[in-house]
């Protein structure tokens, strides 16, 4: 399928998802439902994934050579840039999510998502919605690069090509890649959360355990008060959430790719990835269809004039 067609489909899905979630969020905020905090997390994850896919498709197309191939390092660079762009675009919703989580439930400072956005903007300015974006961008590089690098390098551990991996192997690869990438980037995640939560308008400055003036000072104060391991505080529950998430995502991605290949006649079954004999794997789906039609026209017996 052409990249432009894929982008149009994803944009269409994204518009419908965002419209539905915006109406649902407005309904929850009007009724001051606590469930809006859960929906806020869902809204952030969905918007981040959809936008990341859009950007990644576009960047992969830009990094391809004339033959449509892309090297491992170019794929890592494209994934890192896609993660950075998606982080910047969706960052205000991440700040609001953190504020809704850390606020006092008995005396809440924000009544919902829209109220939190309005109050933060008018009390602290637009920059407050992007507070902590620097460590988020810096953390996106080791996370994206680490996850892609580990994922594409695990074929050496399994001692067989990636195309022959079973769904269990793909799930394991996704879990390992996410665990390594999250561990490498978690110090930036820790600093980002502290910067998002700290606010003079919240009780006890948002409940942050250290007080700081910026990203570098946050790193320094955290190490000074909590030690170096304080930068990895909370890593275990984060791994329990993100490791199976990426395992399911990568295994689902590989399975869907096999289904698409099966529908286009490149493999015999989406479960074992056994290549169909006599099929040129270098052809695009449309080229393969045209070749099949050409062969069918050449080998089909023509009807004689008497039969007509």
Model confidence pLDDT, tens digit, residues 177-231? 889 989 999 999 999 999 999 988 888 888 888 889 999 999 999 999 999 999 9
Q: For position 40, what pLDDT does the model report?
A: 58
pTM over 0.75: no
Q: Quick count: other Cβ atoms within 10 Å of Cβ 68?
A: 9
Same domain, yes or no, for 125 and 215? no
Residues 139, 117 within the same domain: no
Q: Report helix, strand or coil for 267.
A: strand
The percent helix, strand, coil of the chain (3-state, each to 5) is 75, 0, 25
Spatial distance between the Cα atoms of 50 and 53, rounded to a whole number of angstroms: 5
pLDDT digits (tens, 9 = 90+) for 226-235: 999 999 999 9
Residue 203 lies in a domain: yes
Q: Is the pLDDT of residue 54 over 80?
A: no
- pLDDT given at position 275: 82
pLDDT at 62 over 50: yes
- 218, with CB counted inside 10 A (0-12, 13-18, 19+), is buried
Domain count, the chain: 2
For residues 154 and 280, membership in a common domain is answered with yes
Extract the tokens encoding 127.
């920059």
* Residue 270, number of CB atoms within 10 A of its CB: 17
Residue 270 and residue 141 share a domain: yes
The upper half-sphere exposure of residue 104, i.e. CA atoms within 13 Å in the direction of its Cβ, equals: 10
Same domain, 93 and 181: no
Alpha-carbon distance 103 to 137, whole Å?
Answer: 25
Which residue range(s) make up the domain with 53? Answer: 33-130
In a domain, 2, yes or no: no
Q: Are residues 288 and 160 part of one domain?
A: yes
Q: What is the pLDDT of residue 241?
A: 87
Report pLDDT for 37. 54
Q: Among 148, 182, 174, which Cα is nearest to 80's?
A: 148
Q: Do residues 171 and 250 both lie within one domain?
A: yes
pLDDT of residue 29: 52
Last-in-domain residue among 105, 130, 155: 130
């Amino acid at each position: 399928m052409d990249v432009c067609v894929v982008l149009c489909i994803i944009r269409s899905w994204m518009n419908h998802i965002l419209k539905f979630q915006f109406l649902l969020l407005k309904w929850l905020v009007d009724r001051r439902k606590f469930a809006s905090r859960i929906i806020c997390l869902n809204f952030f994850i969905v918007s981040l994934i959809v936008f990341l896919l859009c950007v990644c498709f576009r960047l992969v197309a830009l990094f391809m050579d004339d033959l449509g191939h892309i090297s491992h390092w170019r794929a890592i660079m494209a994934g890192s840039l896609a993660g950075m762009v998606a982080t910047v675009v969706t960052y205000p919703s991440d700040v609001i999510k953190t504020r809704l989580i850390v606020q006092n439930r008995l005396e809440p400072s924000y009544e919902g998502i829209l109220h939190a956005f309005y109050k933060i903007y008018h009390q602290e300015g637009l920059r407050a919605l992007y507070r902590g974006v620097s460590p988020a961008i810096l953390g996106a590089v080791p996370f994206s690069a680490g996850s892609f690098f580990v994922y594409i390098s695990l074929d050496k551990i399994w001692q067989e090509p990636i195309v022959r991996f079973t769904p269990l192997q793909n799930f394991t690869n996704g879990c390992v890649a996410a665990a390594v990438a999250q561990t490498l980037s978690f110090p930036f995640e820790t600093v980002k959360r502290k910067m998002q939560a700290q606010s003079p308008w919240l009780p006890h400055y948002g409940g942050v355990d250290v007080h700081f003036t910026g990203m570098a000072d946050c790193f320094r104060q955290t190490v000074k008060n909590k030690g170096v391991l304080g930068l990895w505080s909370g890593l275990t529950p984060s791994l329990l959430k993100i490791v199976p998430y990426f395992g399911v995502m990568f295994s689902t991605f590989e399975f869907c790719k096999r289904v698409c290949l099966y529908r286009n006649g490149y493999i015999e079954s989406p479960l074992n990835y056994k290549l169909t004999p006599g099929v040129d794997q270098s052809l695009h789906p449309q080229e393969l269809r045209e070749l099949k039609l050409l062969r069918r026209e050449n080998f089909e017996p023509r009807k004689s004039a008497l039969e007509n």
